[in-house]
Structure 1
Amino acid sequence: MWLLHSRTYELREFIDNEANKVGYAILSHTWDLDEVTFQDVQSWMVRHTRKLGWKKIDYCCRQARQEGIDRIRMDTVCIDKSSSAELSEAINSMFTWYRDAKICYAYLADIPAARWSARDHYSCLKDSRWFSRGWILQELLAPREMTLYGTDWNQLGTRHELSDLISQVSRIQVSALKGDEKKIGEFSIAQRMCWASRRETTRSEDIAYCLLGLFDVNMPLLYGEGGKKAFIRLQEEIMKNSDDHTLFAWDVPEGVESRLRDGYPYTDQLVRA
C-alpha cells in the first residue's frame, strides 16, 4: 500500500498493517483527464505540479497537516497502474483501505463556495458528479469519519451533518451512512444493489468490480470480459458466502452490454415473481 507524505510529497510503500499503525487520511474524488500519476510523483518532475489534478492533492495534504496526519492515500498517485497485480490488489482492498483510514476527505470539485452559500444544498449535492460514480459508493460508506469539501476546498460539512441530504440524493438509508460496516451488512443484498443502480462507471466491468467491498468478496479482474460476465461472477462469489435469496431478485436482461456502456447497471431491473 503506497502512501504520500503530507509534508514532503514523497511516496512510501507500507506492508501489511504498517499503514494502520502509522495512520493515514484518504481522498475520495472523481477522476479528470489531467491527473497526477504514480509515475509523476516517483520521478518528481516539477511540471506535474502544473497539472489540474495537483490542486486537490495539495488541498488534501494541507488539510492533513492541519490535523496532524502525515500520510495520505489518493488513488491517482498511490496506485501503479502499470502493474496489473497492484491494480487488482487496490480494487479488492479498496473498501478496507477506506474503512481503516483515520478520516476521508471527499472532494466535490463542482460545488463552488458561492453556490453552496446560496443555501440550496440539496441541488448542489444532487448535481454533483461525485454522487453519480460507481466507485464512490464504497468510498461514501466505508470510512468511519468523512468531511466533504467543495471546489476551492470550502468545507461543506461532515457526512454526519449532511446525512439527511446525502440520503435523499443517494437513496441510501441514513443508518447506513455512519461508517459502521456491521450496519451496512444488516441490509439485504437487494437493498445494497439498489444503492448502486444508476451509478456510472467508465468501463462496463467496473460496475461489478466497484461493489466487491460492499459484499465482502474478492475476485480476479478480467478487463475485456464485459459487464454481464463480471456481474455474474460477482453474484457467484456473493452466493458462496450468503444465503440471502434477494440476490436472485436481480436478472441480467437482454441488451445489458449497451446499457452498461451508457453507464447504467442492470441492478435496476428487478424481476418480480
Structure 2
Amino acid sequence: MIRLIDTGCLSLQTFEGREVPEYAILSHRWEADEISLQELQGNLNQHKAGWQKLRQFCQYAESKGHRFVWMDTCCIDKTSSAELSEAINSMFKWYRRAKVCYACLCDVPARGDLSATEWTKKFKSSEWFTRGWTLQELLASRELIFLPPTWEGEIGTRASLSQEVKEVTGIPKEPLSRGWSLQDGFGAPRFTVAQIMSWASARRTTRTEDTAYSLMGLFHINMPLLYGEGLNAFIRLQLEIMSKYDDNICIWAVIGRLTDL
C-alpha cells in the first residue's frame, strides 16, 4: 500500500499492488516545520514551511507532467508503528519504482548565482550528502534530478554530476550514471558489503536506529523496526547481512562502523 498526492488538488489517494500509477518522488533534508499526514489530510497549520515545500514540489512535478507525487513527511502515518515499519521496509522499492526522483538541495543555489568553481564547492558541501536516508535515495532512484531551493530550473542530474557526487561520496561513477544494482547481469556481486558500508560511514541520522534502517534497502533486507533498541538495530542488520551474503569482509566493516556510532 502506498499513498500518493494528487498534484492538482493536494489530496491523498491510496493505491495497492499493480494499481499504483506513475509518480514522482521527493528526496530532501528534513527541516523545521515539516507537515505530517494528519496535517495534510485536515489542511491544518498551513503557516508551516512544510506546506510551502509541498506546494512547490507539486507545482513543479505537475509542470513536468506528473499527476501524482510521494513525499516522506506526509505520505506515511507515523503514528502507526505497523505502517511506519512497512513503509521503511518498502522505501527502497518506492524510490526504485518512481518515474523520477527530485532532490531539492535547500543549501545549493542555482548555477547562475555563483561562479562555476564556487558553485561546485557549494554543491559538494551540501548537507544532503551527510544524511543517512539520502544514500538510499541517491542510489535507488532510476533517474535523479537535483533542484535548487527556489524550484526554478535544474541544477543537474545524478548522471551529469556523477564526478562531483563521486568525489563527495566515494561511490563509483557507474551506479551513478547507470543506476543501482547489487549484482551484475550474471548474478555476481558488483560491490562488496564493505564498499557499501564505507559510503554510509560519514552519514548521520537523527535516530540511532535509522543508521541501520536506512541501509536495509541497499542490501535487500527486511527487518522489523524497534525504535528504542539503539545500537542493537545495527547488530541485527549485521546478522542479516552475514546470513545473506558470503562476504567475510563485511563482518569487520560493520563492526568498524559500529564503533563510530
C-alpha RMSD of matched pairs (Å): 1.9
Match of residue 28 from structure 2: 29
Q: State the TM-score, normalizing by the size of structure 2.
A: 0.91
Inter-partner Cα distance in structure 2 for 1:170 and 1:101:
23
Q: Which residue of 1 aligns with 2:238?
A: 235
Question: Aligned partners of 1:207, 1:139: CA distance in 2, in Å?
Answer: 14
Q: Secondary structure at the match of 2:17?
A: coil
The verdict on how the C-alpha distance between 1:143 and 1:83 changes in structure 2, with shifts beyond 3 A counting, is: same
Amino acid at match of 2:9: T
Deviation at 1:33, TM superposition (A): 1.9
Partner of 2:37 in structure 1? 38
Whether 1:90 and 2:87 are equivalent positions in the alignment is yes
1:269 matched residue in structure 2: none
Aligned equivalent of 2:19: 18
Structure 1 position 151, deviation (Å): 1.6
- Are 1:221 and 2:225 counterparts? yes
Q: 1:151 corresponds to which residue? A: 149
Query: Any stretches of 5+ residues in structure 1 without a counterpart?
Result: 261-273
Deviation at 1:115, TM superposition (A): 7.5
How many corresponding residue pairs?
253
The answer to whether residue 138 in structure 2 is matched with residue 140 in structure 1 is yes
Could you tell me which amino acid in structure 1 is paired with residue 179 of structure 2? G
2:66 corresponds in structure 1 to 69
Is the contact between residue 182 and residue 191 of structure 2 (CA under 8 Å) also seen in structure 1? Answer: no
Q: How does 1:184-203 map to 2 (within 5 A)?
A: 186-203=190-207
**Residue 248 (structure 2) aligns with:** 245
Superposed CA deviations along residues 213-235 of structure 1, whole A, max 9, x for unmatched, are: 010000011111112x1111001
2:78 corresponds to: 81
Q: How does 1:153-192 map to 2 (within 5 A)?
A: 153-154=151-152, 155-177=154-176, 178-182=178-182, 186-192=190-196
| Deviations 1:92-111 (CA, angstroms, capped at 9, x unpaired) | 11111000100000000111
Q: Give the Å deviation of 1:244.
A: 1.6
What is the CA distance between 1:44 and its match in structure 2?
1.8
Give the match's secondary structure for 1:92.
Answer: helix
State the one-letter code of the partner of 2:132. Answer: G
CA distance in 2, matches of 1:122, 1:183: 32
Tell me, in whole angstroms, the C-alpha distance in 1 between the residues paired with 2:251 and 2:258: 19
**CA shift at 1:143, angstroms?**
0.6
The change in CA–CA distance for 1:253 and 1:240 in structure 2 (over 3 A counts) is closer
Change in CA separation of 1:251 and 1:58 when aligned onto 2, cut-off 3 Å: closer
**Aligned partner of residue 85 in structure 2, secondary structure:** helix
Q: 1:25-49: per-residue Cα shift (whole Å, max 9, x none)?
A: 000001112001100111123x42x
Distance 1:253 1:190, change over 3 A: closer
> What is the rounded CA distance, in whole Å, between the counterparts of 2:72 and 2:51 in structure 1?
13
- Aligned to 2:26, the other structure's residue is in SS state strand
Shift of 1:129: 1.0
**Counterpart contact for 2:4–2:12, Cα < 8 Å:** yes
Identical pairs, percent = 47
Query: Is structure 2 residue 103 aligned with structure 1 residue 106?
Result: yes
Tell me if structure 2 keeps the 8 A contact 1:116–1:124. Answer: no
Q: CA deviation at 1:13?
A: 1.1
